[in-house]
Amino acid sequence: MKKLLIATGGGDCPGLNAVIRGICKRAKKEKDWEVYGSREAFNGVYSDPPEIIKLTKKKIAGIHVKGGTILKTTNKADPLHFPVKDENGNVKFVDRTNVLADRIKELGFDAVINIGGDGSQKISQALFKHGLNIVGVPKTIDNDLSATDMTFGFQTAVQIASDSLDKLVTTAESHHRVMIMEVMGRDAGWIALHTAISGGAEICLIPEIPYDIKKLVEKIQSRYDKGRGFVIIVIAEGAKAKEGTIVSHAGDEGSRHVRLGGVAYQLTQQLKDAGITAEIRETVLGHVQRGGTPSAFDRVLASLFGVKAFEMVANGEFGKMVSFKNNDFIAVPLEEATKDYNFVKKDSFIVKGAKDLGITFGD
């Protein structure tokens, strides 16, 4: 029997379990493969004894409708670099990619499927260079990976955000308020943009289009002047103001992650400082966008990503990532997949279209 190891890394995302189930179901057809899962990304491989579970029929039954990951995950530790103290007590990070690759082989695994975002796929690429048979599956609710048209989890996140926006509209209307809703999107504004279009927001602020506070004030003022007594603003957590009015994130010290909730409150302050007298309220959606059951679309996308990933393993197509392109499932080299990000382009049709629908970006 040949042995396959699955790992889920980075932040969790609705659809991870559907990928796991898709891989196992497709593997079953081959008869000569057994599928295992490592606990919490590659931590299970490093544990002594290893924390690796066999993914039996019973373990994967019906999991495609469940959010999160049955294998657990982490975005805290980098499995390829370990802290080591030098003779002066200073901490240095040492590359141990070969240690992880060798350990996986020593445990008897013939191949690995690594499900994760940009960081995880860079890990896949490094392990592949160290001779590991590996296939990547792209995952992120932010939809910011360039080699695929869509990542699973994104549609679910947009649906959750859009449903929340609908609820904010009725209360904004009743109180004549400015409502600010902060959504996820550290580097890319896809969730904010789709939510703003879907919910009919007046203002959408995203990392790719720095905003001018004066333009936002004009828009808000004109809404109130025309008697349309409320304003809905969707802001991505990574949105920035133009020079001179910089929003600095309330960052988590020592962490690469921005602490959610920074920008919504700072925007309120900026609007007040710029003369907005209407009442302003903030809603920070946070991790509800990543939780719960995946949408039907994400279940389909994730399940087929799983099937395709196993097919690549069976065909020996390693060093590649599964991708959804032009309505088809294809394999792209990991090197290409990790080269770029998928950012919202200022002059794209979606941005122009949003403007035509009455959305202001503040540019």
As annotated, the binding site for Mg(2+) includes: 118
Element (H, E) at 235: strand 231-236
Closest-by-Cβ residue to ligand F6P is: 184
CA dist 323 and 90 (Å) reads 42
Burial class (CB in 10 A: 0-12, 13-18, 19+), 42: buried
Q: Please give the structure tokens belonging to residue 99.
A: 């240690």
Which is nearer to ligand F6P, 24 or 150 (by Cβ)? Answer: 150
- Rounded to a whole number of angstroms, the minimum distance from the CB of residue 54 to ligand F6P is 28
Strand order across the 111-116 sheet: 52-54, 33-38, 2-8, 111-116, 134-138, 320-325, 328-333
Known binding positions: 11, 76-77, 117-120, 140-142, 177, 184-186, 237, 281, 287-290
CA dist 58 and 341 (Å) reads 38
- Rounded to a whole number of angstroms, the minimum distance from the CB of residue 159 to ligand F6P is 15
Which is nearer to ligand F6P, 140 or 295 (by Cβ)? Answer: 140
Do the Cβ atoms of 177 and 210 come closer than 8 Å?
A: no
Contacts with ligand F6P by CB under 6 A lie at 11, 75, 117, 140-142, 184-186, 237, 257-258, 290
CA dist 178 and 271 (Å) reads 10
- Rounded to a whole number of angstroms, the minimum distance from the CB of residue 337 to ligand F6P is 16
Known binding positions for ATP: 11, 76-77, 117-120
Closest CA to 270 of 292, 300, 250, 248: 248
Which sign does the torsion angle of CA 40, 45, 46, 51 carry?
positive
Rg (CA), the chain: 22
- Residue 142 is a catalytic residue: yes
Which is nearer to ligand F6P, 177 or 290 (by Cβ)? Answer: 290
Amino acid (one-letter) located at 256: R
Q: Please give the structure tokens belonging to residue 6.
A: 């699955």
- Catalytic pick among 142, 225, 273, 298: 142
Q: Please give the structure tokens belonging to residue 127.
A: 């392990």
Strand partners, 181: 234, 283
CA dist 55 and 39 (Å) reads 12
Element (H, E) at 114: strand 111-116
Known binding positions for substrate: 140-142, 177, 184-186, 237, 281, 287-290
Element (H, E) at 35: strand 33-38
Which is nearer to ligand F6P, 116 or 306 (by Cβ)? Answer: 116
- Rounded to a whole number of angstroms, the minimum distance from the CB of residue 165 to ligand F6P is 17
Closest CA to 278 of 237, 227, 215, 205: 227
- Rounded to a whole number of angstroms, the minimum distance from the CB of residue 194 to ligand F6P is 14
- Rounded to a whole number of angstroms, the minimum distance from the CB of residue 140 to ligand F6P is 5
Do the Cβ atoms of 148 and 320 come closer than 8 Å?
A: no
Which is nearer to ligand F6P, 239 or 276 (by Cβ)? Answer: 239
- Rounded to a whole number of angstroms, the minimum distance from the CB of residue 260 to ligand F6P is 7
The answer for residues whose C-beta is within 8 angstroms of residue 269's C-beta and 6 or more apart is none
- Residues with catalytic annotation? 142
